[in-house]
Structure 1
Amino acid sequence: MTKLFGKRFSELETQITTLESTKVMKYSEFSGSYPSIDANALLGWEVKAKSLISNVCGEESHHMQTFVEAEKPRSFSNSFEELQRVKAIFLAAKEDYEGGYLNTVRNLVQAEVFGSELEQAGELLSAGYASAAAVIAGVVLETNVRNLCTDHDIEHGKLDKMNADLTKAGVYNSIQQKRITAMAGIRNAAAHGDTEKFNAGDVKGMIDDVERFLASNLQ
């Protein structure tokens, strides 16, 4: 997904250059000579750019809001000047994206990594390696809990402490806290070889619960 976004940024940047190359000089008795580009072509590019910015930055992001403001008609402004305004915002979003400064992009990357690890856990479980599957799912769970602590300025520590602190801060409710505690119990039992404390069904439920937990927090 993130590779597709990077490719799309490059495509739209190329289209900006193409749009700029179509600039022609027009004349108005009110403003004299002024540069102009095709308004419909500009509108089409803006729609595509907004879709991309919305996906990588968020619909309510500063990038998106500033872009929408920049494309609004202005007195004594022309289509070429409008392109220059939205271009500046688009390139700023592209730079932040490529630098990894967008929280949404960070979440996309994490979602891809975590999704791959949970798939691996599922495959191990199917092959009969329930303990290994539980340990991998547990690592994904704890990493996500730790990231939530970072996002909410909560001190890192042991999983049970972070879990309690996140609940106290209202990040999630006590029901989710109990689920995380249960999942951590399966992970700990698997890591210590206490296979009598869980079965394959418990691990399958754990993987599913971790996936749901990620879906609710990686947005």
Structure 2
Amino acid sequence: MTKLFEKRFSELEEQLEAIAASKTSATSPMTGAASTYVDQNALLNWKVKAKTLLINTCGESSQQLVSFIAAERAPGFATNYEILKQLRAVFLAVKEDFEGGYLNTVRNLVQAEVFGSELEQAGELLSAGYESAAAVIAGVVLETTIRNHCTDRGIDHGKLDKMNADLAKAGAYNSIQQKRITAMAGIRNAAAHGDVEKINPGDVKGMIDDVERFLTTTLA
């Protein structure tokens, strides 16, 4: 997913530069002076696509999108070429932050991809009859996600049960989710300690599904 967004940023940058390069001069109907313009339809088409990309990578309520929308407004007798330059400044700043991994949503996208791959591996191991290995891998994904939640909220890292309780107390999720995490951790612990008689394939399958659902809500 991040590769697709990276490609889209580059595509839209190229399109924007092409629009800017096609600028023409004409007499302004407002001032009577010679002014620079670009194709209005092409610029409008680009703005729609750029907004969609910013929503997908930064969020609908992000400061980046707010800045982009503000840059659309024409100050005084500004031409659409001057508006383009304002939009370009915002767009390239967001592109730089995206490529540098400075957007929180980018971190979430990367984590979702990595964790999704690990959960797929856990599912394959389970299908091959390696319940314990599958549970351990799913448990690593779960604990890493919990640790990241603690980091985001300034909560100290510790044992999984302690972090889980602290997050629930801080309002990160409700008591029902807390109990689910406790149950998932129990399956992980049994697998890690070799207590295979305490778990079965159905337990591990349910754990993998629950971890995936937890990721869906936390990394959305």
TM-score class, shorter: over 0.9
Q: What are the residue-to-residue correspondences of 1:6-21 with 2, within 5 Å?
A: 6-21=6-21
- Residue 51 (str. 1) matches residue 49 (str. 2): no
CA drift at 1:73: 3.7
Q: Report if aligned partners of 1:133, 1:203 keep a CA contact under 8 Å in 2.
A: yes
* 1:121 alignment partner AA: A
Task: Indicate yes or no: 2:144 matched with 1:143.
Answer: yes
Q: Secondary structure at the match of 2:34?
A: strand
Cα displacement (A) at 1:31: 4.4
> Could you say which residue in structure 2 is the equivalent of 1:97?
98
The residue type equivalent to 2:5 in the other structure is F
C-alpha separation between the residues in 2 aligned to 1:89 and 1:146? Answer: 33
Task: For 2:27 and 2:177, locate their aligned partners in 1 and report how far apart those are by CA, in whole Å.
Answer: 65
Rounded to whole Å, the distance in 2 between the matches of 1:31 and 1:184 is 73
Structure 2 runs not aligned, ≥5 long: none
**Matched residues, percent identical?**
68
Report deviation, 1:74: 3.6
Normalization by structure 2: what TM-score? 0.97
Residue of structure 2 in register with 1:178 after alignment: 179
Question: TM-score of the superposition, structure 1-length normalised?
Answer: 0.98
More divergent stretch after superposition (19-28 vs 126-135): 19-28
Instruction: Tell me the C-alpha RMSD between the 2 structures.
Output: 0.9
Instruction: Give me the whole-angstrom Cα distance separating, in 1, the residues matched to 2:168 and 2:63.
Output: 29
Aligned AA for 1:191? A
- Report the alpha carbon displacement of residue 95 of structure 1 after superposing the two structures with TM: 0.4
TM-superposition CA deviations, 1:61-90 (whole Å, max 9, x none): 001011011112443010100000010000
Q: Is 1:121 the equivalent of 2:125? A: no
Following superposition, the deviation at residue 58 of structure 1 comes to 0.8
- Work out whether residues 146 and 162 of structure 1, in 8 Å CA contact, stay in contact via their aligned partners in 2: yes
Match of 1:62 in 2: 63
1:64 maps to a residue whose letter is L
Q: 2:26 corresponds to which residue?
A: 26
User: Shift of the alpha carbon at 1:28?
Assistant: 2.7
Q: Conserved in 2, the CA contact under 8 Å of 1:70 and 1:85?
A: yes
Give the partner amino acid of 1:103: N
- AA of the residue aligned to 2:42: A
In 1, the alpha carbon distance for the partners of 2:32 and 2:57 equals 38
Q: Partners in 2 of 1:186 and 1:204 — Cα distance? A: 11
Count of residues paired in the alignment: 219
Tell whether 2:200 aligns with 1:199: yes
Deviation at 1:16, TM superposition (A): 1.4
Quick one: distance in 2 between partners of 1:28 and 1:17?
A: 23
Distance 1:65 1:187 in 2: 43
4+ aligned runs moved over 2 Å, structure 1: 72-75
Unmatched 5+ residue regions in structure 1?
A: none
Contact 1:145–1:162 under 8 Å retained in 2: yes
CA contact (8 A) 1:31 1:76 kept: no
CA distance in structure 2 between the aligned counterparts of 1:90 and 1:47, rounded to whole angstroms:
13
Name the CA distance, whole Å, in 2 between partners of 1:168 and 1:193.
32
- Spell out, residue by residue over 1:174-218, the C-alpha distance to the aligned partner (whole angstroms, 9 max, x if none): 111111111111101101110011111000000000001101100
Q: In the alignment, what sits opposite 1:211? A: 212
